[in-house]
Structure 1
Amino acid sequence: MDTRAAHTAEHAFIGSLQKILKRTLSVRKVEHKDPYNIAFIRKSEVELDFEKITCAEKEVNRLILEGRKISHHSFSSLQEAKNVFPTLRANETRLENADTITVVEIENHDLSACSMEHVNNLSECIFFLVTSMSMNGSDYEIRFMIGKNAMDEAVRITEKINNICVQIGANYNTVEATIKKLSNEREQYHNRLKKLTNKLLVDIPVRTIDNQNMNLITTILHDMDWRTIQDFAGEKILKSRTIVVLVNMVDNDMASLIFARSDDINLDCAKIFEELGKDENMGRGGGKPNFINAKIIGSKSDKVVEELVNRSIKFTSS
């Protein structure tokens, strides 16, 4: 990868973003990692979305096609450079002790103080492609490619879009609407699943151990909403003298388990589950003394629930 071209393209990209946002940006750093590059922009200074990124990306490629020239200007200090170029973009902390300040000018587009090497014409960048934008701490992390790497990646993206179209029964013109429809349908089905899960949970009969003044809530569910189950368990153990053992069966003979108890019961759920695991090869998990999550073998669910209940009763009665 030609880092000179990549860094020059980054200058053009930031210059385009500045025009869109109508303000000077501070690029904290730029990393060049073949085949991609990353620009870090402070989130506190600007609000970005991919629509703005795409507009800037399009302009950079237009400037590349136009073959905008790159010029260099030398100054003895950053202040001198700013006197000549008031709109100059510069990382002042990094340049404050520099003996010479070099200003890189992209013809009628951008001015930036930079000590790195650059190409002489934007056409040497060939093609510019932003592949992603994400948050990294307090920075926007914008990944981009140039030249042949960018072209190859564009082809891969097109191939991926076509594969997605085949999978969801759409074409290039309808793929976004189809995905939105599928997402809405998924949300509707998920909400129905949560309601069904909650109904099954609230209908669980509570088993009372009279001689210990203790309530047991146990059941085995099939393909229900796990988050709803977790929330239910968390709510139930807020009530006094309560133990919860819930299993959710899923595919491939696997199941998720919650074993929890209220704070007024002297019971170490994690230790009991660990000891059961030593006796039975039934899964793994862990957590706190009052609440554990585990993955267990589905076909052993009945036995696991029975053992956890029996050991809990035995431990609390001793």
Structure 2
Amino acid sequence: MTLDEYEIARRHTAEHIFMKTLVDMLENTRVVKVVHEEDINKIILESDLIEWNDVVKASIKTNEVIQEGRDVYIEYYDSIEEAKRKYPGIRAYEARISGEVRVVVINGYDISACKMPHVSNTRECIMFLPVNLTKVKGRLYEVEYYAGSQAIHNAVKYIGRFIEILRKFNVDYDKINKVLDNMNRELSSLKRSIKELSEYIAKNTPYIDGKYRYLYLEYPYLDLDAVGRVLSKRLDEVDVGIVFSYDGEKYRFILASSKIELEDIFKNLINVADGRGGGRRDWYMGYIKDIEKGKNFILDQME
């Protein structure tokens, strides 16, 4: 499905109102590119610094302007210089403009050079709803948003999800941030504990002598980054290091060795145990779905 011109006009006019508001709030801010996809709209912009609260504040003002029902109309000028003589404060990406200029006027609010379609009254935009802010690189940021009827639909959906979360935690609106902050601290503490426990297990599990001298770890929810760092230091005392760890969905693995070729073992493991992965000659990582088949295959190779 492609967007019709009127739908693009609603979304793009809403973007003009939002960006005018943001430019007034933040110095050295300008639009670089606007993308309208079927399910989302994206504004790529340049700014020294944009925070989510800036986006929210600008969006509140944007929706006020939308509801004011301001007229939107088009004017044409032979050049950007001529347009600037009438509208000194016109918003324009001048490096991309040559020849005749199409000027979009939102009565009493914004004047900008633009070739895109626009509605004739701001109320036709219905609503502006920002949903994400991402720093792309350097001074480039991306704002994702909904407009028109899609904004209302998604606002109801998000509010419904938010209320569901409030009910699940049995808290009201004013207390949810405190609850989430506490959960975040607890999660950070839990991650540190898992990291420390993973390091302890990797350091203190004894190796096994068989066909090869190998280290075998099979524990759920290991911090594999922490295990990997310890394992790399223990490869001088064993022929092979083997790690399996359930992450809640599948079993992740590490196969490591500084002494033997692992490629055939790795390929056979993911084939036998329905897995995927990759790596280099002495270090492979991935996941398997059938832990019993994977474990039996590996231990057969080692013993």
Scaled by the length of structure 2, the TM-score of the pair is: 0.84
Q: Determine the C-alpha separation between the residues in 2 that align with 1:222 and 1:37.
A: 41
What does residue 51 of structure 1 align with? 53
Partner SS for 2:151? helix
Are the structure 2 counterparts of residues 50 and 165 from structure 1 closer, same or farther at C-alpha, using a change threshold of 3 Å?
Answer: same
Identity of aligned residues (%): 23
CA RMSD of aligned residues (A): 2.8
Are the structure 2 counterparts of residues 244 and 3 from structure 1 closer, same or farther at C-alpha, using a change threshold of 3 Å?
Answer: same
Partner SS for 2:242? strand
Are the structure 2 counterparts of residues 128 and 242 from structure 1 closer, same or farther at C-alpha, using a change threshold of 3 Å?
Answer: same
Correspondence 1:101 to 2:105? no
Q: Determine the C-alpha separation between the residues in 2 that align with 1:70 and 1:273.
A: 64
Are the structure 2 counterparts of residues 294 and 67 from structure 1 closer, same or farther at C-alpha, using a change threshold of 3 Å?
Answer: closer
1:274 to 263, 267, 271: 267
User: What is the 5 A alignment of 1:18-29?
Assistant: 18-23=23-28, 25-29=29-33
Is residue 215–residue 238 contact of structure 2 (8 Å, CA) maintained in 1? Answer: no
CA displacement at 1:158 relative to structure 2: 0.7
1:8 to 2, 10, 13: 13
Q: Determine the C-alpha separation between the residues in 2 that align with 1:221 and 1:19.
A: 55
Q: Determine the C-alpha separation between the residues in 2 that align with 1:208 and 1:177.
A: 52
Q: Determine the C-alpha separation between the residues in 1 that align with 2:110 and 2:196.
A: 56
What does residue 199 of structure 2 align with? 198
Partner SS for 1:2? helix
Deviates more, 1:115-124 or 1:191-200: 115-124
Q: Determine the C-alpha separation between the residues in 2 that align with 1:60 and 1:251.
A: 43
Are the structure 2 counterparts of residues 277 and 159 from structure 1 closer, same or farther at C-alpha, using a change threshold of 3 Å?
Answer: closer
What does residue 164 of structure 1 align with? 165
Correspondence 1:299 to 2:292? yes
Q: Determine the C-alpha separation between the residues in 2 that align with 1:275 and 1:68.
A: 68
1:185-223 Cα distance to aligned partner (Å, 9 max, x none): 1111121121112112111224579xx9x8633333344
User: What is the 5 A alignment of 1:106-255?
Assistant: 106-136=106-136, 139-206=140-207, 216-237=214-235, 239=236, 242-249=239-246, 255=251
What does residue 3 of structure 2 align with? none
Are the structure 2 counterparts of residues 131 and 255 from structure 1 closer, same or farther at C-alpha, using a change threshold of 3 Å?
Answer: closer
* Unaligned residue ranges in structure 2 (runs of 5+): 1-5
Are the structure 2 counterparts of residues 219 and 304 from structure 1 closer, same or farther at C-alpha, using a change threshold of 3 Å?
Answer: farther
Q: Determine the C-alpha separation between the residues in 2 that align with 1:113 and 1:58.
A: 24
2:34 to 25, 30, 36: 30
Q: Give the number of equivalent residue pairs.
A: 295
1:165-188 Cα distance to aligned partner (Å, 9 max, x none): 233333323222212211211111
For the pair shown, the structure with the greater C-alpha radius of gyration is: 1
Are the structure 2 counterparts of residues 127 and 220 from structure 1 closer, same or farther at C-alpha, using a change threshold of 3 Å?
Answer: closer
CA displacement at 1:60 relative to structure 2: 0.9
1:108-134 Cα distance to aligned partner (Å, 9 max, x none): 322211122322322222222112223
Partner SS for 1:86? coil
Are the structure 2 counterparts of residues 143 and 257 from structure 1 closer, same or farther at C-alpha, using a change threshold of 3 Å?
Answer: closer
Are the structure 2 counterparts of residues 304 and 101 from structure 1 closer, same or farther at C-alpha, using a change threshold of 3 Å?
Answer: same
Is residue 255–residue 283 contact of structure 2 (8 Å, CA) maintained in 1? Answer: yes
2:64 to 53, 62, 65: 62
Partner SS for 1:4? helix
Letter in 2 for 1:226: L
Q: Determine the C-alpha separation between the residues in 2 that align with 1:305 and 1:41.
A: 52
CA displacement at 1:87 relative to structure 2: 2.4
Scaled by the length of structure 1, the TM-score of the pair is: 0.81
Is residue 247–residue 301 contact of structure 1 (8 Å, CA) maintained in 2? Answer: no
Deviates more, 1:13-22 or 1:223-232: 223-232
CA displacement at 1:32 relative to structure 2: 2.3
Letter in 2 for 1:146: A
